[in-house]
A and B are shown apart, each in its own frame.
Chain A
């Protein structure tokens, strides 16, 4: 399978704990995106990398959230001191540079904070 993969697919944690999600993009894609999706809503942009550089961050990305893409390949999204409001699906997408900018999404990580 050469698509975008995410790990884990599901995560249950207690409030106050830290969690980390991983995204492996399509191998030749240099751009990587993180989105968050809550029930009944469309995905909302969190942050975006081009290669290893984090070029944009949404206002949704509070100080408790941090994302990295250290070698320009896989990326991690960490949430510190989780809150119940962090419960959501976290989606990763990747694309290659170009004006058409078609993003391909992974299956998502569903987080439940108790």
Chain B
């Protein structure tokens, strides 16, 4: 079972920042938070991951709270091509292997 909680859907105006929240209250100290997205009928695409510190790359920023129980993915200037399902993933204790548990994700719609 996925151990993250995400809103089912969100809308964002084109050009504005999209902030996608994720709760992962049972995360263990050595487990990373990963974000992937999936555009319709394609394979999931890696976006970013982090452990404790905030992370930024060319696609997005990841803000992890100090207690690590939640995180936010930020797409700074959303475009129509960012419309996708966004998955927040952690590996939770007890350690069950290397697979990811995806859950159902957040369906982000970027509106013109």
Contacts and interface: CB of A to CB of B under 8 A. Distances in A.
Contacts, number: 61
A89 B34 CA distance: 22
Contacts of A48: 97-99
Contacts of B105: 42
Interface residues of B, number: 23
Given A31-B98, A40-B104, A55-B98, 20 more contacts: A35-B99, A41-B104, A42-B2, A42-B102, A42-B103, A42-B104, A43-B44, A45-B97, A55-B97, A56-B97, A56-B98, A56-B99, A91-B43, A91-B44, A93-B44, A101-B32, A102-B49, A103-B100, A105-B44, A106-B43
Interface of A: 4, 31, 33, 35, 40-45, 48, 55-56, 58, 89, 91, 93, 95, 99-108, 110
Interface of B: 2, 30, 32, 34, 36, 41-46, 49, 85, 87, 97-105
24 contacts: A33-B98, A33-B99, A35-B99, A42-B2, A42-B85, A42-B87, A42-B102, A42-B104, A43-B44, A45-B97, A45-B101, A48-B99, A55-B97, A55-B98, A89-B41, A93-B43, A93-B44, A95-B98, A100-B32, A102-B34, A105-B44, A105-B46, A107-B43, A110-B41
